[in-house]
Amino acid sequence: MGRSGLTRASIVAAAVGVADAEGVAALSMRSVGKRLGVEAMSLYHHVANKEDLLDGMVDAVFAEFHAPEVGGAWRGEMRARHHSARAVLKKHPWAVGMMDSRRNAGFETLRHHDAVLGCLREAGFSLALTGHAFAVLDAHLYGFLVQELSLAFDGEQDLAELGEQILTALPEGQLPYFREFTLEHALQPGYDFGDEFEVGLELLLDGLAARLEGS
């Protein structure tokens, strides 16, 4: 691609590709330029520096989230937003710790936040309850992804091997509740830590619905 074909959007997309493939630690103007087939210096006609590039990358990830419909059924919209965001962040795991960390938020970031706020406000949430809802939902979303993406096992078989390794190393008769949970729940056929995402979300939505009804 020649310099004349470069755009900010194409540069950001290439940077997201680098981060997806190699992690954000591998991101540099040089690595992005290499992916695009241009010299790194040509990127500076469209992005100011690496921080500007990171701002654009986070904005691009927010653009992939489901934006709740203002005036729509808040519970369904928040559920759709939560599930879409989880799928997006599993595709872009480098972004999990960066989503609300950028000081120069882009338009897509602000548009998404406006949609969440608008959906809750139009559903009757007070300003304070809107703030509580947004905070607790994001805490669940991002917190769960941190756990899910850093699990020490991958799939049932790997979990079974890890569980056996841990239990074998435990002193006999110690940690009875850990043993019970591991043997009678986590190591049972069909167990998937990812299922806890939906359970936690529904608990939060139930709590918010009760708080809304009582306000």
What are the pLDDT digits (tens) for 59-71?
A: 999 999 999 999 9
The whole-number pLDDT of residue 5 equals 80
φ and ψ at residue 175, rounded to 5 degrees: 55, 60
pLDDT for 163 equals: 85
Output the pLDDT for position 4.
Answer: 58
Per-residue pLDDT, 3: 52
Range of the domain at 129: 59-149
Low-confidence ranges of the chain (pLDDT < 50): 1-2
Question: Is 35 part of a structural domain of the chain?
Answer: yes
- Tell me the pLDDT tens digit for each residue of 171-190: 888 999 999 999 999 888 88
pLDDT at 100: 87
**Is residue 66 located within the same domain as residue 142?**
yes
Please tell me whether residues 86 and 66 are part of one structural domain. yes
10 and 77 belong to one structural domain: no
CATH number at residue 14: 1.10.10.60
Q: What is the mean pLDDT of the chain?
A: 93
Instruction: With respect to residue 94, please indicate whether it lies within any of the assigned structural domains.
Output: yes
Give the model's pLDDT for residue 43.
Answer: 96
